[in-house]
Every structure is written in structure tokens, then in C-alpha cells.
Structure 1
Amino acid sequence: MPNVRSLARLTELPLGAIRPRGWLADQLRLQADGQTGRLEDIWPDVGPDSAWLGGDGEGWERGPYYLDGLIPLAYLLDDADLSTRAQKWIEAVLVSQRDDGQFGPADDDWWPRMVMLKVLTQYADATGDQRVPPFLRSYFTFQARTLPGRPLHGWGRARGADNVLSVMWLYDRTGEEWLLDLGRLLLAQTHDWATFLTRDLPAGPAPAFRHLTHGVNVAMGLKTPAVAALLDDADDRDGGPGRRAEQTREMLANLMRLHGLVHGCFSGDEWLGGREPHHGVETCLVVELMFSLEHLVRILGDGTYADLLEQTAFNLLAASSDPRMLAHQYHQQANQVLVSFADRDWSFSGPDANVFGLEPHFGCCTANLHQGWPKFARSLWMRADDQTLAAVAYAPCQVDAELAGRPVRLDVRTSYPFDDVVEIGVGTAVAHEFALRLRIPGWCQEPALTVGSESIPVTPDEDGWVTVRRTWADGDVVRLGLPMRLRTVPRDDGAVGFRLGPLVLVHAVGEIWRPVPDHAGLAEWEITPRTFWNLGAWVDDPAGIDSWPVERRPVGPVPYDVDAAPVVVHGRGAPLRQWRMRDNSAGPPPAGPVSTRAPVMELRLLPYGSARLRVAELPTVTVTPEPDDD
């Protein structure tokens, strides 16, 4: 009996109900042909000796992390080879369960099993394998019996909300009340993220390791109050889900106030690093933040988190790998003007953390990066009720669902985020009534919506959605226009960033890619600049930034290739020779506006995800003409 009790505002569709199309399908195919599809062949930690496969190799988080992305990628692409690769892991895990309910390698760490639980629930969503629910029930019985005497600790204590998500997955299918008690026990043993991030969060770079200031833990911990809302009674006297929603807003706002970077994510190189744009963001942080945001939207129904989800995916996730997804960085920078083996002013990282490779600095990102794009694709649409589908994020895809008891297909045709029009074709064998709930991004001031030739008023509700309910016929077409105006993002000391819709725009620095000899894996590169990086932005250009031309081009088969960027903005700036490198990174932007008589130059702005050398936070300049000689 599905959805026996759930306070979540939205529900995920079965894995495979959404199929990527267009540029998103190309991106997932690059992933399948690159790091994800070939990882077992090039990285022993997920090879045949893995302890999760019964061998004597690595037996902690790396196998589960890898599967957490491989499973959704395989079923989204309907890729038989990837599915076969994944199935041998599933079989090994299912047969590993002992009589007491424990499973997996011989250690007793709660944390890696939390990841494998997510793997199993996704697999069951895709296949309907009836072995999974009793497997989970047996393990959760083991947890309920064991946790009082051996509570969560270390990584598991920071990440307990992930365990609860899997408990609630089973509860929604069985309605067994003891699972709610287990969920509450797990949360009671999880760090109090709401208190830490709202009251106790320190400013500036963290000086030493703590689970509470570890960037990836923070990204995962952000969803803890929302997950707790799933266990709140609807009449909770302390405010129930509303209180949890307010906690979440305060957590994120305080985190961004003290550690927010120009691209809209917070620093974490490996620990929280403050607001300066040379501080890095770990790839694990990016994909775990996306996973948290996907569940914040699902549980709380607030479209603000979907805005941030799109921004994180279309910019930071894209930038974390090379364009063909053969290699990745451990840490990326907002102002990244050199990719090299070198020490940098980061909280904790080795000299290789900045290069694109197989296993820079540490292998957690090598194993964990795979979940980013597939889970984003799965989360594009969710069910609001039995008669309503909700568009969480926009990208080309095909959606198959049952609404009001009848099958419906949505064909989402768009180049968004590189264009500003989303067209949705409706397919239904019999005309019938249902609703589409469309998210209107917070940055869009003048949205336009039509169904066929009929114009629909766009008045978003308090969570950012507009609902179109009508009797739909086969062939109906919805057209949603989301005009994108170039806008600035104010930063410290007068610096600015640029946005165009959900795209973060950056000063794209010319790139020279230098292959690293004798590398492991598929590829490894350093990248050095071949053009000026130290330009200031002339935002008080008398013509105004609205006059800066926006050039749009077709999205190619490699969507984030810098040489074929689908969007180019031709801005204006001037060189600032006093702005120099510091500790192998761009130094802090000079406080502005900086008065200069340097010649005005083109400031070529590209999508953040397309430019591996970039300046996302720029000082501003005031251009003073040279006096006449006479």
C-alpha cells in the first residue's frame, strides 16, 4: 500500500519514468562512455576485488558511492551494459545478508550501508524486484535492535538523514509504525544541524577537521530538518513541517552569509572556507548538495530550492569534469585561472586536488561524482497528487506517468538553460482532466505561458508554482517563456558576478590543456592561461549592461565544450595589472570600483560550466579617458 503516510509535498516518479532527451541525453551519454561506464576497468577500488563483491579489496564507501550513480544512469539511459555491470553488485549485496539482518563486508560501520540502502531503493524503483523490501526490513530490524547500544558515530552521525530516507521509503510501502520509531531514533543520534548552522556556525576558513565543518557533511546535513518533517505529526504543537521549513531557510541563509561564493554554492575545500573566490568547492559537496536540494523540493515543496538545484547542476556540476567527462577535479574554484599541481590557500588539500584526473587528492569524488546528472534527470518532474505532475526543473526529457487513472506522456522540448523557452507536448489516448504544476524561477520577472493559442495568466503561488488544470487532449502544447535578463550579483568590496537565468556567467580565460604523462585512468590535465585573466568589469558602462549583446548558438553534442559554448555575452571591461596571483590562485579582487585609464576590452562571458579557466567574481572598474595631448 504505497504512500500510507507522507508529509512530503511531492513524490518521485519511478526510476525510468523520465527519459533524458536533447542536450541532457548527450551529457548522460558522455558520462556513460567516460568515467562512470569505464570506472570498473580503470580503478581497482570498484574492480572485481571489491569487498562488496566478496573480494578482499576496498570495502567501505567507494563501491556503494559508485553504484549510487551507476544504477540511475543505467536505467535512465536504458543501457543494457550498464545494467549488467550494476546487477552483479546488487546480487552480491542481496546474498551478503546474515541471519541477524546485517549485510555487506565484515566491518560494522553504519555509514557505507546508508549509501547502499539508497542504491537498493533506486534499484527496486526501477525493477520492482520483490527481494528488496524484505531485505530492508531485516536490516532495519537489526538497526532497531542494535543502535541503542551502538549508536551512530563519525560519518554516520553526520549523515543519519540519508538512512532515514531509506527507512521512509520502506514505510511508504508497508505502513509499519515501528519504522517511524526507527527513523526518530536515527535522527536523535544524528548531529543537530539546525542548531549548528543557525547559531554556532563560525565565519572564515575552518582551522581543523570537525565533522560539523566538513563541507560534504554540511551539504548532506542541510536536509536533516526536512527529513525530520516526514516523521512529525501533522498536528505537531511546535509547528510541525512549517517549523522545519523555517529552520531550513535559516540554515541555508546563514551558511551563505558566512561561506557563500559568487556562484551560489558555499565553500568547502575540504572544510568550510569563507567567502573569498579562490576557496574551492569539492565535487562530492556539489553532488550531495544537489541530492539534498532534490529532497528539500520534494518534502517542502518550495521552488526556491529547485532554483538552487538548477544553478548547481548547470554550473558547478558541469564544471567539475572535463567536457567529455573523462576526468574530474577534487576542488574547483570560482576564480580559477590555473589548474596545476601546486599548494593553494585551502583548508585541507594536496597539490593534485586542482587537476583533472582519475583520483586527484582522494578517491571519494572518484566514486561519488556519478550520482549528480542521473539524479538530477530523475528529479525533473515529480507527482504532486494523483492528478498533478510538477515540473521541478527544466531540461529536455520525456515523462511517462499515470494521471487520473490514465497514461499521459509529456514531451519536454527545450534547450534550457541555454535558451529561455520550454515547450511541453501532451500525449494522451483519451482527453481527460489533470493538472501541470510549473515552477516559475525566482529570477524570472516576466514569464509568459500559453496552451495552444490561449494565453494563461502567470501568478505564482508563495512557493513559486503556477498550476494549469484543464481537460487535455492529445497534441496539446504548453509554451512557457522564461525571459533571461543579464543581471549582476553584488559581492564583497564592490566585486560582482553575472547571471543569465540559471546560468552563472564568467570571464572565460583562454585555455591551454597540458596532458600529464604516465597518468592513471582515462585522462589527466593541467590547464594554463593563454589570455588575460585579470580584467575588471565596466558595469557602469554608459550604455548599460542591458546593451551587452547575448549570442545564442545551437547546443552541440558536447554541451559544455568551451569552444562551442551555447551562450556568449559580449561585455566590456579593462585590464587591472595590479591584480596578481597569490599562492597559485588569483588573488582577492581589488576593492572597487577601480579607476583606470587602461583601454576598454571585450569581456567575453561564457557559462561557468563551459570554462575551466574562469573568473566568476570580478572587480569593477571606472574607465577614465586619457587626457588629450593638446
Structure 2
Amino acid sequence: MIQYPKLKSLASVLSFVLLVSCNKGEQISSISLVERIDTTTTNAHYISNRAPLKPSALIKLPVGSVKPEGFLKEYLIRQKNGLTGHLGEISAWLQKEDNAWLNKSGEGNWGWEEVPYWLKGYANIGYLLEDQKMIDEAMVWLEGTLASQREDGNFGPRHFDGDNQDFWANMIMLYCLQSYYEYSHDERVIELMTNYFKYELTVPDENFLNGYWQKLRGGDNLHSVFWLYNRTGDKFLLDLAEKIHRNTSDWVGRQHDIKDIHNYYEVRNGGEVPDWYRDQIDWHNVNHAQAFREPAQYALLSHDEQHVKASYENFEIIREHFGQVPGGMFGSDENARPGFADPRQGIETCGIVEQMNSDEHLLRITGDPFWADHAEEIAYNIYPAAVMPDFKSLHYITSPNMVLLDAENHAPGIANKGPFLMMNPFSSRCCQHNHSQGWPYFVENLWMATPDNGLVASIYGPNTVKAKVGAEGAEVSIEEDTHYPFEGNLNFTVKTASPVKFPLYLRIPTWTKKAEIAINGEVVKSDISKVGFAKIDREWKSGDQITLTLPMDIHVETWEKNSNSFSVSRGPLIYSLKIGEDYVKRESDQTAIWDSKWQEGADTQKWPSWEVKPTTDWNYSLVVDKKNPEKSLEVVERPWPSSEFPFTPESVPIVIKAKAKQIPEWRLDEHGLVGELKDLPKTSTSPEEEVELIPMGAARLRISAFPELK
């Protein structure tokens, strides 16, 4: 289990330097351990922050530089063949007729967040897979957007929030345009963004970001302004950045007036709003997951460490009260509600992918490897279970403890009314489109450029990266061959036309102890723990191999604020009780929520919904020695799946055998949800049984937070 962040100085901290000779006659390598990567130099080959912005801690590589391999590539292929790849044929919001995104005047009945939500992931999957059909389809929407710019500089649908322009959907489309520019270098993107931001600067403050969603999410607008400034240096963009920050909701402040917190909220049993509830400007799950980072984004311009600190605190505050659960997210199944913090509370799929995106932003902004650890925790534990293995349907709410996914309404047990637990390709319209960004954005951030013309393996998974490095910008290719996160061996092979000297950084996750690095088969450093990055400075030759070994111990995390429940993890993976799953097919047009819409002529029978019901008992807690869990838990390795998809109960390559006791009092409650932990006895007279634990991401039905048994 990763440790939650404590803000440190952003300066690079040198732990040790070791000169080693790898095999006789080879180039001497310098090995050092650093908490952060030094930012006193500027990368010569990739666009970094311009003054007066703070120097880039890490630099995103252009789209397409990192290509997925192994199960990550299989994920994108399944998205392409599943809902993401076919939404243009079935979603009413993506129909081309009468679509405001394809109208030069911005007029049309279909034209808000759905098109850019979907396009963020759809287009980038096309770039990553080099799928021309997907790229051509994406270009229909990108060309429509580029053609929509009006004389005043505004573009896209004429969408209003009351009497004011709604800037929210345009913020998402700017992401799409930026990715397209990185892939194509089409200068029309720069021209459109420049003219659009000049338009935003002319809008009076009282009419700018005036509305619920856009006001909370101004950080996304700020990101695009800085992206453009780093490419053009236009000074007016800094004025616009100041304007965006002052008109965005206050994610820095604490003890807000309750009238300024606009999300719907309720307190359990009609109690009073707790004092701590005023410490966040909003508690809607998606708003928080994507907007908590805004102060750290603004800190690039303000240079105020208190702004960086505010984003860390925002992260901690919601998890202090609603995130005492495994999986890295928090219980806000629409809005976080005081008194509703049991592991049965969940998170929208939108919230999951937006949290991953925020982690990736903050990793680049701060250089803090914590955000990479957390991105992996989300991506490899809770996100896979939010969608069906074939990526043809998903559910709105995903919880650490959920043992029945049906088409019933579970409110007020969860905060929203509707069939939000079942797997449905049409419910709800936000997650239906927005889920597409999760895996492609994750892949793009596996590697980043460093200020000293090097590369950092920032997030781990099978891939190949091509990038410019060293003083002269030589292109190198590095293949990362691994079954991580299921195993701790990561093998990197360097390919280069001629020897080239550059620093290569490897992230050392906080959960590992005694990590080891070998170069060309010879161990150069061992016993690495509790440090951010290992830096290898060396002249690399084609064929050089680096092996990073990350020991994966079993760990038990106790969640004291959630009835002393506990979870089991091994390395970056959290493990859940294996529950038999019975998939019951339902017709989507009979089970989708009221605002679901599909195109005329779309065959909904090709896109069924699924209930998932348990076929085995689930009301267990584990009998485990928490201080020495390896004594009572047995790790069993299985063959890697030929499908290259390890996230189903049948295909997982690692299981853990454990002893468990049933708790007869633990049942579904009156809302059809797994009973809350606080109501359970602390003892059980049931006999011990052997159970299996599987990775949380493979368990669509799961118990991940186990009740305390004394």
C-alpha cells in the first residue's frame, strides 16, 4: 500500500553516488539515488516551462512516443473493439447530424461535453495503435472544431450556463486539440488556441467561468493556457492565467461559508454539517478528482509553495473523511456525504479516470513520485473492475466492497437514484464517454523527459518508448518487458544507432524494500528502499540491458477510521475475496437510466447490459497475522494468460490462499447493498475455511476491506 503524501522541498536530494564498472572494459556508470530530479537545467529537445513559469520537473513526451505492449496494448485493442471504438455509431451525442461540434456557427441540438470526453481517449487510442481508421474518424471532429472558430475567437457549440458562455466543454476539447498538435504539428491548432484565449481575455470577470461545472474546473483551462504559452511565449497568456485562477472556485481556502459549497449534500440522520466539511469548496466526486490540483497548477506561475501545499491537502482532506478504504479513491457515489464512508460507498468511473489524469499532471508539475505510485494504485486496482472485460459496458459506481451488481435503485445507500451498479453501455452519459481517456493517457505518461536531457521510467507497465536524449538529441528506443504489476521484474533493453550518454532514471515505489538494479547481468546496486528515483548516468550502447527488481512483500493495511477494517496487498496490487460471478444479460433499452440516448437505428441488442450476481458466499473476514502476514497467506503463481488480459478471476496470474471465517450477521441491507462494517460483531464462531484472494482489479464482485475479527 502506498503512503499518502507529505509535501517536501522540491529540491533534488542526493542520497549517495556510486561509481561502478559493469563487466570488464565497459563504460563506468554513475549510480545515484534522489528524492526528486534536479530542475536547474532545461531539456534541449522537448518543450518545457518558459520563464516566468517554474522550471518543469518532468516533461511530457509527445503523443505516440510511448507505445503500449503486452496487456496495456490488449487494453487499448479491447477499447477499440468495445464501447470506445463504437460510441460514434450508437451514442446520440455523437451523431453527426445536427451536432453543434460540426456546425461552423456552433448551432445544433447535440453539443456539450460528450463529444470531447469521448474524443480525448478515442483519438489518442488511434495515435497509439497507429489505427488510420480511428485517426480519420477523429479528424472529422477535429476538422469540425477547427472550422468552428468565429470572428471573436470563440469556437465550438454556442452553449450557455444561464446568461453566460459555458467554457467547460471547450476546456475538454482543448485537450483533444493539444494531443492532435503533438501528433501532427498542425499549426492551425496554435492559431485557434491563440485567438480563443484572446477572446477569453475580453470576457468580463463577472461573466467568466460563471456557473457550477466550469467554475470548479478552471484548472483544465489553466493547463491549456500554460501549454500554449510554452510554445508561443505570448505574454497575454500570463494575464489570462491570472484571470482564470481568480475566477475559479477557491480550492486553496479552508472554512468556507456553507452557502458557497454548491454541491448537493446531506448529513446522515439529519445531523449538523461537521466543521471539517467547510474545508473543501466542493465534494462532488468528479469535481474533486479533477479540480483539487488547480492550486498546484497555478503555482507554476505564482511560485507560491502554499499553492502546491493546498493541492496536497485537498487530496488528504477528502481521504481523511471518505477515503479510509483500499483502492486509492474515496466514497463519494456522486457527492461525499458526512456519515457515509463505509467501503460500500463508491466512486464514478468519471472520477476514477479524472483522478488518474490529475495524478499524471501533478507528477509532471511536482516531480514527486508519490503521484506515480497513486496513478498505479488507481489504474491497476479499481479502474479495471469498473468496466466489463470486453470493454462493451461499464458501471457508474465502483466500490471497494460490492457483492451484487443489479439493475435496482440503491439510494439512499448510495447518493444517486438509479441502476448505477449494473454494467450498462448507456448509463450514465458522462462515464459512457469519459472513461475512454483512462488507459491512453496512462500509457502516454509511462515515460517522461527530464530537465537534464534524460528519460525517467515514471510509471511501470509493458511498453516501448522512443525519445531524444543527451546533448545532441540522439534518438533512442527502450523496450520495457514486464508483467508488472503482477511481478516485480522489469527488463529494459536500449537500442541506439551509436553510443550515447544520458541519465536514465527508474522510479522506486514506496511500497518496495531492497530493490535491486543490474546492468547487463551484473548487479550495480541493491538494498534500495524509501527513495524516489535511481539515476543511472552512463554512455549507453545498443543492446544494453537494465533489470530492475522490486520485491513484492505482502502487506496488511488497517483502516482505523473505518471500523479497523483491513486490506491485503502485494506490491502495488490489492487483493479481494474471490466471489463466484454469474452474469445475467439484460436489455439496455429497458435498464438504462432516464437520460440515456442512442442514435436512431442503433441496435441496442448488440450492446446488452449485465447484472452480476454472487454464486458463492461473500461474508468472510480473514484470519491473518497482520504483523507477519506471509505466515498465514500463501502466494500462488499461475501461468500468464494467453489472452494477454490478466484482469478476470479466471486469468489472474497470482492468487493468495488464506484462512477465513464467515460472519453470519453480515448480509445485504435494506438498500440491497453489502452491510456496513460498523454494524458487525467483532467475533465469529464459524469454522475456519480456505478462501482465495484475487487482485482487486479482476474482481467485479469483491470484498476488499475485511471486517475486524478479534
Give how far 1:584 is off.
0.7
1:449-484 alpha-carbon deviations (Å, 9 max, x no partner): 111133233687987112111111111111011111
Corresponding residue for residue 306 of structure 2: 243
Residue type of the alignment partner of 1:600: E
Paired AA for residue 87 in structure 2: L
Quick one: distance in 2 between partners of 1:461 and 1:225? 31
Deviation at 1:596, TM superposition (A): 2.7
CA deviation vs aligned residue, 1:79-104 (integer Å, no higher than 9, x gap) = 11110110000000000000110111
Q: 2:707 aligns with which of 604, 607, 619?
A: 619
Q: Which residue of 2 aligns with 1:627?
A: none
Q: Equivalents in 2 of 1:458, 1:392: separation in Å?
A: 20
Bigger shift: 439-448 or 135-144? 439-448
Q: Deviations over 1:546-595 (max 9, x none)?
A: 44221233043333122111221111101111111111111012678833
Q: Which residue of 2 aligns with 1:17?
A: 65
AA aligned opposite 1:294: E
Note if contact 2:510-2:529 (Cα within 8 Å) is conserved in structure 1. Answer: no
Secondary structure at the counterpart of residue 302 of structure 2: coil
2:397 to 331, 348, 364: 331
Please give the residue correspondences for 1:208-357 in structure 2 after superposition, counting only pairs within 5 Å. Answer: 212-233=282-303, 240=304, 242-260=305-323, 261-273=325-337, 274-344=340-410, 345-357=412-424
Structure 2: which amino acid aligns with 1:527? V
Per-residue deviation at 1:197? Answer: 9.0
Q: Which runs of 5+ in 1 are unaligned?
A: 234-239, 623-630
Aligned-residue identity in percent: 31
Shift in alpha-carbon separation, 1:174–1:541, aligned structure 2, 3 A: closer
**AA of the residue aligned to 1:517:** E
Q: How does 1:154-165 map to 2 (within 5 A)?
A: 154-165=212-223
The 1-side partners of 2:286 and 2:629 are apart by 39
The superposition leaves residues 317-351 of structure 1 with CA deviations (integer Å, 9 ceiling, x where unpaired) of: 11110111110001111111000122223453232
Structure 1, residues 69-121: CA drift from partner, whole Å, max 9, x if none? 11211101111111011000000000000011011112231110110111100
Query: How many residues in Structure 1 have an aligned counterpart in Structure 2?
Result: 613
Deviates more, 1:402-411 or 1:267-276: 267-276
What's the secondary structure of 1:423's corresponding residue? strand
Cα distance in structure 2, aligned partners of 1:205 and 1:192 = 18
Would the aligned equivalents of 1:494 and 1:593 in 2 still touch at CA under 8 Å? no
Cα distance in structure 2, aligned partners of 1:593 and 1:141: 63
For 2:556, what is the secondary structure of its paired residue?
strand
Aligned to 2:181: 124
The aligned residue for residue 597 of structure 1 is 685
Q: Distance in 1 between matches of 2:204 and 2:568?
A: 48
1:170-221 alpha-carbon deviations (Å, 9 max, x no partner): 100011121111011101111111224999899x993199971111001111
Whether contact under 8 Å (1:321, 1:329) holds in the other structure is yes
Whether 2:266 is the aligned partner of 1:207: answer: yes
Residue 606 (structure 1) aligns with? 694
**Aligned 8 A contact 1:400 1:410 in 2:** yes
Which residue of the partner structure matches residue 407 of structure 1?
A: 475
Contact 1:498 1:505 survives alignment (8 Å): yes
1:507–1:606 Cα contact (<8 Å) kept? yes
Q: In structure 1, the residue corresponding to 2:205 is in which secondary structure? A: coil
Q: For residues 77 and 574 of structure 1, what CA distance do their matches in structure 2 show?
A: 47
Q: Tell me how far 1:243 sits from its aligned partner.
A: 3.0
Of 573, 581, 584, 2:668 maps to 581
Partner of 1:58: 110
Preserved contact between residue 513 and residue 530 of structure 2 (Cα < 8 Å): no
> Which residue does 2:586 correspond to in 1?
516
Residues 614 and 558 of structure 1: is their aligned pair in 2 closer, same or farther, counting only changes over 3 Å?
A: same
The reply to whether residue 561 of structure 1 matches residue 642 of structure 2 is no
Secondary structure at the counterpart of residue 174 of structure 2: helix
| 1:33 aligned partner, one-letter code | N
Pick from 401, 405, 425: which aligns with 1:358?
425
Gaps of 5+ in 2: 1-45, 160-164, 268-276, 590-603
CA displacement, residues 209-245 of structure 1 (integer Å, 9 cap, x when unaligned): 9971111001111211210122124xxxxxx2x3333
Give the 5 Å matches for 1:185-204. Answer: 185-196=243-254
Aligned partner (choices 127, 131, 143) of residue 79 of structure 1: 131
Are positions 1:502 and 2:572 aligned together? Answer: yes
- The higher relative CO (CA closer than 8 Å, separation ≥ 6) is in 2
- The answer to whether the 8 Å contact 1:52/1:89 transfers is yes
- Structure 2 counterpart SS, 1:470: strand
Q: Among 539, 552, 563, which residue is 1:484 paired with?
A: 552
Task: Judge conservation of contact 1:294–1:379 (CA < 8 Å) in 2.
Answer: yes
Instruction: Report the secondary structure of 1:356's partner residue.
Output: coil
Secondary structure in structure 2 of the residue aligned to 1:416: coil
Relative to structure 2, which stretch is displaced further, 279-288 or 53-62?
53-62
Aligned partners of 2:116, 2:571: CA distance in 1, in Å?
35
The alignment partner of 2:504 has SS state of strand
- Secondary structure of 2:683's counterpart equals strand
TM score, norm. by length of structure 1: 0.93
CA contact (8 A) 2:659 2:689 kept: yes
- Supply the AA of the counterpart residue of 2:131: D
Q: Which moved more, 1:173-182 or 1:594-603?
A: 594-603
Q: How many Å separate the matches in 2 of 1:220 and 1:110?
A: 16
Question: Which among 372, 376, 389 is matched to residue 455 of structure 2?
Answer: 389
Q: Which amino acid aligns with 1:161?
A: G
Q: Report how far residue 147 of structure 1 moved.
A: 4.2
Deviations 1:11-70 (A, max 9, x none): 100000000001110111101110111111111111213321237332111111111111
- Give the counterpart letter for 1:47 in structure 2: Q
Distance in 1 separating the partners of 2:585 and 2:281: 35
- How far apart in 2 are the matches of 1:381 and 1:465? 13
**What CA distance in whole angstroms lies between the structure 2 residues aligned with 1:267 and 1:437?**
35
Q: Out of 587-596 and 242-251, give the one that drifted further.
A: 587-596
Contact 1:205 1:272 in 2 (8 A): no
Pair 1:44 & 2:58 matched: no
User: Per the alignment, in what secondary structure is the counterpart of residue 604 of structure 1?
Assistant: strand
Cα distance in 2 between the residues matched to 1:518 and 1:229? 46
Paired residue type of 2:664: R
- Kept in 1: contact 2:659–2:688 (CA 8 A): yes
| Correspondence 1:146-185 to 2 at 5 A | 146-153=203-210, 154-185=212-243
Alpha-carbon distance in structure 1 between the residues aligned to 2:257 and 2:457: 34
Q: Distance in 1 between matches of 2:486 and 2:635?
A: 11
- With 510-519 and 46-55 compared, the bigger mean Cα shift is at 46-55
Which of 514, 524, 537 does residue 456 from structure 1 map onto? 524
1:540 aligns with 2:600: no
Indicate conservation of the 8 Å contact 1:589/1:617, yes or no: no
TM-score of the two chains, using structure 2 as the length reference: 0.83
Rounded to whole Å, the distance in 2 between the matches of 1:269 and 1:455 is: 48
Residue range with higher mean Cα deviation, 503-512 or 383-392: 383-392
Name which of structure 1's ranges 531-540 and 520-529 shifts more when overlaid on structure 2: 520-529
How has the CA–CA distance of structure 1 residues 403 and 459 changed in structure 2, closer, same or farther, with 3 Å as cutoff?
farther
Q: CA RMSD in A?
A: 2.4
Query: SS where residue 574 of structure 1 aligns?
Result: strand
Give the stretch that moved more between structures: 53-62 or 282-291.
53-62
Contact 2:556–2:567 under 8 Å retained in 1: yes
Name the structure 2 match of 1:237: none
1:110 equivalent to 2:167? Answer yes
Measured after TM superposition, the shift of residue 358 of structure 1 is: 1.4
Letter of the 1:427 partner, please give it: K
* 542-551 vs 510-519, which moves further: 542-551
Distance of aligned partners of 1:152 and 1:460 in 2 relative to their CA distance in 1, 3 Å threshold: farther
